[in-house]
Amino acid sequence: MMKTAAAFLLCVLSASLASAQEEKPVPKDSARISIAGCAHNATFIVSRPPEGEPVRSDIEAGRRFKLHGPKHTLSEIKTHPADMIELTGVVRRADLEKPRGVGLAGGRVRIGGGSPQAPLGDPATNSAYNEAIMDVESWRPLPASCPSR
């Protein structure tokens, strides 16, 4: 009787650990990406990864992401403003598309890029400013430092 209960408890614990280690499913309209770069508060700027690092991404350097996620994870990231890090998270596929039109003023102004019904207003929420939202799942430090601001 005791052996059966112990075996059952062991099976339940191993199943719960296996399910906890599985990645969350990605919605159909999103993609899980890993990118290298530098974080400043809740903004992440993509950089080229250091030589020899296995970070592969087709996202160009200089692209900005607004970070969302667990407060604990975001507070850990904020403590490394001078260090290059790798983020893994989920981003909408529509936000990963390259912007259309011609960029001026560092890409903040686009000529011919928006549709006529594109909203105007707050740069933090306006997709025309090319700052996508990333739901951060994990991060790790990289052996490089960020350029000074």
**Per-residue confidence at 95, pLDDT binned at 50, 70, 90?**
confident
Q: What token pair was written down for 43? A: 């903004």
Question: Count of domains in the chain?
Answer: 1
- Give the Cα separation of 131 and 71 in Å (integer): 20
Does residue 18 sit within a domain? no
DSSP code string of the chain? -HHHHHHHHHHHHHHHHHHHHSPPPPPTTEEEEEEEEEEETTEEEE-PPPTT------PPTT-EEEEES-HHHHHHHHT-TTEEEEEEEEEEHHHHSPPPSEEETTTTEEES-S-TT---S-TTT-GGG-EEEEEEEEEEEEEEEPPP-
pLDDT in tens, 40-71: 888 999 988 888 877 777 888 888 999 999 99
Does residue 5 sit within a domain? no
- Give the Cα separation of 138 and 100 in Å (integer): 30
Does residue 112 sit within a domain? yes
pLDDT in tens, 120-131: 555 545 544 557
Q: What token pair was written down for 59? A: 């996202």
Domain containing 122 — which CATH number? Answer: 2.40.50
Does residue 11 sit within a domain? no
pLDDT at 12: 47
Does residue 103 sit within a domain? yes
Does residue 129 sit within a domain? yes
Residue range(s) defining the domain that contains residue 31: 25-145
Does residue 56 sit within a domain? yes
Does residue 113 sit within a domain? yes
Residue 126's closest CA among 105, 108, 103, 104? 108
